[in-house]
Amino acid sequence: MPDDLLRHVVGPQPYASWWLWLAIALTVALVAFYAAVFLLTGPGRGGRELPLLGAARERRLRQRSARAVRRIGERYRAGELAAAPAGTAASHELRRFLHLATGVPAEYLQVSDLADSEIASAAPVLEQFVDIQFNSASEADVARVLRDAEELILSWT
């Protein structure tokens, strides 16, 4: 091959630098998006630091939990649930609400331990649920206890 043709052979062309900046910007945007989703929707305390978002989340949590307890009460009054299963379901819902609202692991604590914690005001209702669940001769009014649980959830601060 003659040397005069080598002037037509060239190396690869360099890429434009804007591709690098575009890749960096997209990566930063993706990381920021996932961080925002995690902070704003996660069950931790991240969203509670934002006053407006934290208040909206807590109100939605109260409404959802109260609605669930109300449905359990409706099913109990309709005869779909017996007293013990209704007490179990409502107790589970109340304990889940308390855990999400306060951070206290209410699902795993005994009622006596709950009475010594920051959610002591919920202990009497939970104690009645325990009586309904495990005492077949319980004289507790299940419908009233369910209403008390719903009121407790709606008035929780």
In a domain, 21, yes or no: no
Residue 60 lies in a domain: yes
Whether residue 22 lies inside any domain: the answer is no
Q: Record the tokens describing residue 84, joined without a space.
A: 């013990």
Looking at residues 53-60, what average pLDDT do you find? 82
Q: What is the DSSP letter of 39?
A: H
Residue 116 in domain: yes
Q: Determine the angle formed by the axes of helices 83-102 and 142-155, rounding to 10 degrees.
A: 10
Tell me if 139 is assigned to some domain.
Answer: yes
| Count of structural domains within the chain | 1
Domain extent at residue 117: 53-155
pLDDT of residue 41: 75
- On whether residue 44 sits in a domain, the answer given is no
Q: Per-residue pLDDT averaged across 101-115, rounded?
A: 90
> Is 131 domain-assigned?
yes
* In-domain check, residue 32: no
Which pLDDT band holds residue 150 (cuts at 50, 70, 90)?
Answer: very high
In terms of Cα–Cα distance, which of 96, 72, 64 is closest to 146? 72
Residue 2's pLDDT is 62
